[in-house]
Structure 1
């Protein structure tokens, strides 16, 4: 019995050491993440945010900024400019900048279901709470909401999930 146990432990330790050595040999930390943290490196933004201030490509500020405004701290790198040039967005039907976004009355005010925490499913019928449209994440949630709207309604309006 002792022999079997010692063979098992020896095999386990050897396997763990081999696995540890293999993982250490293959480990390659993401170099751009540490460089981007200090403001340099080959970092290109993954998400375009239309509300973010425009980044000046030359040293001057854009025409939408007031005179004398400081230039943004973020400057695009060569790879970011190449990435932007490679993606042609002319086919997208962008709304005119002067048009203010209007809220669709049938569009739910929440993006997450307050009961189950799932993203709102547009195929599930909505409900109304205090004149606002509420969306649900699954078919089990509308009956729960109808049973106790005062418990779940404020959470839907804040786009929060019930804490259990």
Structure 2
């Protein structure tokens, strides 16, 4: 049997951990010159679940990158297990959820004073929990997530 790369081991471990917690995902590892990465794709998860996944899986990532200064760094050097240089978690939303959020936003704002880009950004921020600029419009979560 062929041996899995460290990134492939990370992808497999994370997929297994998420499955134990009832979260379906796709996990993909990639290798490139001077490193590797793992991408985890989940669907329709509330912001607090994504935050929990990020904090649970942070130990598997040893690399950092600052695009402003074009510098890479290192973290989690003490972790004894497989790691990947970069770990990305993508949360995808079904169109029905996105449309529901958009309808709710449109019902709360004066549409004439906002561009289409503003409305798309408000929708994305609302779905991902980035409501710091939208607090005046939305007091309660719109989406009813399964417990």
What band does the TM-score fall into relative to the shorter chain? under 0.3
Higher strand fraction: Structure 1 or Structure 2?
2
Higher helix fraction: Structure 1 or Structure 2?
2
Structure of greater Rg: 1
